[in-house]
């Protein structure tokens, strides 16, 4: 197939070009026919050998073939490029009507929110923030708080004992001692933090939980000061329409001691299902600092007096938001956590 090339030959070449799948193969075919040593190039060179009267027609014919083959190569190249583009696009196809990947705004956990709320209340009343370690000695957790080894109230404060002889504190009352050891009265502090007890989790217990401790020591501090502080706390936390009630109780480190209740927000203390028919909800323990506690830190109990209180944050949250199971606070179900996004802060 050289100088006597026919229409059919050209058609075969074009058909061959159309079957090519890659640009490289196409390039090979192109040089096979149109390159320097290509069949058509060689044929065109041979025109000279043909008799002059046939040269013109032959030349025109071969030029036409060359053109058709060139066009076929270009068409195929464009087709391959287009195919490749489509393949890539399909691989990265996206639906512009889909909602975008939203970056959600984070929020503090409800425990942190309420902790800060309580913090604002006490800062506002002039109390200072104090912190103490979660890993404690038995002395700060018990003995200095008038709770000797034999004391039955220790039963309720079983905890995790560490191999270094320390324990995980069962309440934030430890911070009372740590602050008083370092400072002289008058003082007014609050101390939020984690506490631990050897409790099996159920609807109202967690082995790790949060408390806020409050301590005020000065001359002539009385139950009236405690009550006034509690009233502000309860109204700020739960609402201005809420009342408080004190009921005698027992803690080794206070005398007298109280259980503090807030009036039920649903029935306004007439009694309903939410408050178990009593009209009142227990929110914390409190009392006047026991003389023995003052003695253990070297304060003279005849000179100084003080009140203290300890409040469980989870308990406050349960009452504030009608939460039935305390474990929800630790389950990390985002649907639950998101319910509280920014409710306080
Ligand atoms: N520490 C007590 C507890 O965890 C709570 C408590 C009661 C703290 C009376 C106090 C207080 O400061 O005065 O059960």
How does pLDDT run across 292-303, given as a tens digit for each residue?
A: 999 999 999 999
Cα of 325 vs centre of ligand 1, distance in Å, is 23
pLDDT attached to residue 59: 86
Q: Is 154 exposed, middle or buried (0-12, 13-18, 19+ CB in 10 A)?
A: middle
Residues 178-193 have a mean pLDDT of 98
pLDDT of residue 342: 80
Nearest atom in ligand 1 to 215's CA? 12
| Contact (CB, 8 A) for 270 and 279 | yes
Distance CA 338, CA 321 (A): 14
pLDDT, average across residues 19-41? 89
Nearest to 289 by CA among 248, 256, 250: 256
In contact, 212 and 311? CB cutoff 8 Å: yes
Distance 316 CA to ligand 1 centre (A): 15
Residue pLDDT, tens place only, 252-291:
999 999 999 999 988 988 999 888 899 999 999 999 999 9
| Ligand 1 binding pocket mutation candidate from 173, 192, 247 (most atoms within 8 A of CB) | 173
CA 221 to chain centre: 43
Global confidence as pTM: 0.73
CA angle centred on 144, ends 213 and 148, rounded to 5°: 115
Pocket of ligand 1 (CB under 6 A): 171, 173, 213, 251, 254, 285-287, 308-310
Residue boundaries of the structural domains of the chain? 2-92, 110-339
Q: Whose CA is nearest to atom 12 of ligand 1?
A: 309
Counting atoms of ligand 1 from 1, which one is nearest the CA of 173? Answer: 1
* CATH (residue range 110-339): 3.30.930.10
Among 290, 228, 291, smallest CA distance to 260 is for 228
Q: What is the dihedral of CA 194, 169, 143, 245, to 10 degrees?
A: 40
Ligand 1: nearest atom to the Cα of 289: 13
């Amino acid at each position: 197939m050289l100088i006597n090339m026919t229409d059919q030959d050209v058609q075969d070449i074009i058909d061959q070009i159309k079957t090519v799948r890659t640009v490289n193969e196409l390039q090979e075919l192109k040089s096979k026919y149109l390159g320097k040593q290509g069949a058509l190039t060689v044929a065109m060179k041979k025109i000279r050998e043909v008799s002059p009267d046939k040269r013109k027609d032959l030349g025109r014919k071969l030029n036409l073939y060359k053109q058709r083959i060139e066009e076929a190569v270009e068409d195929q190249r464009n087709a391959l490029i287009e195919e490749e583009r489509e393949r890539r696009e399909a691989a990265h196809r996206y639906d512009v009507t889909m909602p975008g990947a939203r970056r959600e705004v984070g929020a503090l956990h409800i425990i942190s929110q309420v902790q800060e709320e309580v913090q604002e209340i006490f800062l506002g009343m002039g109390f200072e923030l104090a912190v103490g370690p979660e890993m404690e000695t038995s002395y700060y957790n018990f003995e200095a708080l008038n709770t000797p080894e034999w004391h039955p109230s220790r039963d309720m404060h079983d905890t995790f004992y560490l191999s270094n002889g320390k324990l995980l504190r069962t309440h934030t009352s430890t911070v009372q001692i740590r602050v008083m050891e370092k400072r002289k009265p008058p003082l007014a502090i609050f101390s939020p933090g984690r506490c631990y007890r050897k409790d099996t989790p159920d609807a109202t217990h967690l082995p790790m939980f949060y408390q806020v401790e409050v301590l005020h020591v000065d001359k002539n501090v009385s139950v009236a000061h405690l009550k006034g502080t509690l009233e502000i706390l309860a109204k700020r936390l739960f609402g201005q329409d809420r009342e408080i009630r004190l009921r005698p109780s027992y803690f080794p480190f206070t005398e007298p001691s109280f259980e503090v209740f807030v009036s039920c927000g649903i029935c306004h203390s007439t009694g309903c299902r939410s408050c178990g028919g009593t009209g009142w909800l227990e929110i914390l323990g409190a009392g006047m600092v026991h003389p023995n506690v003052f003695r253990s830190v070297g304060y003279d109990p005849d000179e100084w007096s003080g009140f203290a209180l300890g409040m469980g944050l989870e308990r406050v949250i349960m009452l504030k938001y009608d939460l039935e199971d305390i474990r929800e606070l630790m389950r990390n179900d985002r649907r639950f956590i998101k319910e509280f996004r920014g409710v306080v802060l």
